[in-house]
């Protein structure tokens, strides 16, 4: 029972981190040059078609890294009381997250597209969690 509760807590934490990642990406995009988005040169959005299994796998590995970054920087953020320092911590965490995503061969837009699709597609969500190293941790309808 304790393992199940820990697993559920882990998923809830992961879901919160996913939401934070989705929220942070538009803020990052706002810092880009006008008319461009991460991973594109023309400023057009990526097509919303289904992601390939390779893209889902890369997004899962990137999610694993982003979750680790969020966890590491959340501790620093909690420990800080200075608002300016907190802003620097958030900026550095975003920078690290973007680097983690792009190191897996994805643009931030592609990563966000897979995460957004996973919110409404249980099979994709299970695959994404599995690729992130969180297999067997998907919540059930009873949670």
Q: What span, in angstroms and rounded, lies between the C-alpha atoms of 100 and 74?
A: 17
What pTM does this model have?
0.64
CB 124 within 8 A of CB 59: no
Summarised one tens digit per residue, pLDDT across range 35-49 is 434 444 333 344 456
Summarised one tens digit per residue, pLDDT across range 83-123 is 999 999 999 999 999 999 999 999 999 999 999 999 999 99
């Amino acid at each position: 029972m304790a393992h199940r509760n820990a697993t559920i807590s882990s998923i809830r934490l992961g879901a919160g981190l996913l939401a934070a990642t989705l929220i942070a990406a538009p803020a990052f995009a706002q810092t880009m040059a006008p008319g461009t988005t991460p991973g594109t040169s023309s400023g057009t959005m990526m097509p919303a078609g289904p992601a390939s299994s390779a893209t889902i796998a890369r997004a899962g590995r990137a999610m694993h890294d982003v979750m680790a970054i969020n966890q590491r920087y959340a501790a620093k953020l909690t420990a800080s009381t200075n608002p300016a320092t907190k802003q620097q911590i958030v900026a550095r965490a975003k920078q690290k997250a973007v680097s983690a995503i792009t190191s897996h061969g994805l643009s931030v837009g592609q990563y966000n597209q897979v995460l957004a699709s996973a919110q409404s597609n249980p099979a994709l969500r299970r695959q994404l969690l599995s690729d992130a190293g969180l297999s067997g941790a998907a919540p059930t309808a009873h949670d």
